[in-house]
């Protein structure tokens, strides 16, 4: 009897892992079939809407407010490196192109959950300049442990002196 319970538990665990890491192949079609997911389509993020590539990274809005837009996908972040000024509230809008990912900003208490079909929002202020690794903190598939991005927090004056391209992302250009 005990063995049976263990076997069923193991089966359920495998099922949960499959559902959570293959979300876009299993849950999503079911979700669409049931009439859900009227918002973002994770499979066409790069084609239209807010998360097209030219709109990703750090952008200045009206009144000088800053917004970072980012996509988490198996197994990287787009953009891979983001730069923001220190001591300024920065708005984040992130989504996932496939599975559930979690961005954890190492050395801080900040974290963000990226979900397919949903925009996750948060406002963070990084008080001091520094480089923060952003490892993915949710098992999202076989490449999970290599999935990491970077955040460069720079002094405000340095941020102001960057070109628009350099502000958008600190990926090598
Ligand atoms: Cu993405 Cu783990």
Tens digit of each residue's pLDDT (9 = 90 or more) over 90-141: 999 999 999 999 999 999 999 999 999 899 999 999 999 999 999 999 999 9
Query: Does residue 19 contact residue 27 with C-beta atoms inside 8 Å?
Result: yes
Distance CA 121, CA 72 (A): 14
CA-based R_g, the chain, Å? 18
Q: Which atom of ligand 1 lies at the shortest distance from residue 100's CA?
A: 1
Q: What is the pLDDT of residues 34-56, one digit of tens each?
A: 666 556 888 888 888 899 999 99
Alpha carbon of 19 to ligand 1 centroid (Å): 14
Alpha carbon of 28 to ligand 1 centroid (Å): 18
Query: Does residue 147 contact residue 104 with C-beta atoms inside 8 Å?
Result: no
If you average pLDDT over every residue of the chain, what do you get? 88
Q: Which atom of ligand 1 lies at the shortest distance from residue 147's CA?
A: 1
Query: Does residue 27 contact residue 96 with C-beta atoms inside 8 Å?
Result: no
DSSP bridge partners of 85: 154
Distance CA 56, CA 79 (A): 7
pLDDT of residue 5: 86
pLDDT of residue 12: 87
């Amino acid at each position: 009897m005990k063995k049976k319970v263990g076997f069923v538990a193991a089966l359920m665990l495998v099922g949960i892992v499959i559902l959570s890491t293959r979300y876009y192949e299993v849950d999503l079609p079911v979700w669409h079939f049931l009439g859900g997911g009227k918002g973002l389509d994770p499979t066409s993020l790069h084609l239209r809407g807010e998360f097209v590539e030219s709109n990703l990274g750090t952008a200045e809005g009206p009144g000088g407010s800053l917004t970072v837009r980012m996509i988490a996908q198996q197994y990287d972040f787009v953009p891979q490196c983001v730069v923001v000024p220190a001591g300024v509230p920065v708005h984040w809008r992130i989504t996932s192109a496939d599975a559930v990912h979690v961005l954890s900003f190492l050395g801080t208490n900040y974290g963000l959950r990226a979900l397919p079909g949903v925009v996750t929002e948060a406002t963070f202020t990084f008080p001091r300049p520094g480089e923060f690794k952003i490892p993915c903190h949710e098992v999202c598939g076989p490449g999970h442990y290599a999935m990491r991005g970077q955040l460069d927090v720079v002094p405000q004056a340095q941020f102001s002196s960057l070109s628009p391209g350099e502000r958008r992302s600190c990926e090598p250009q």
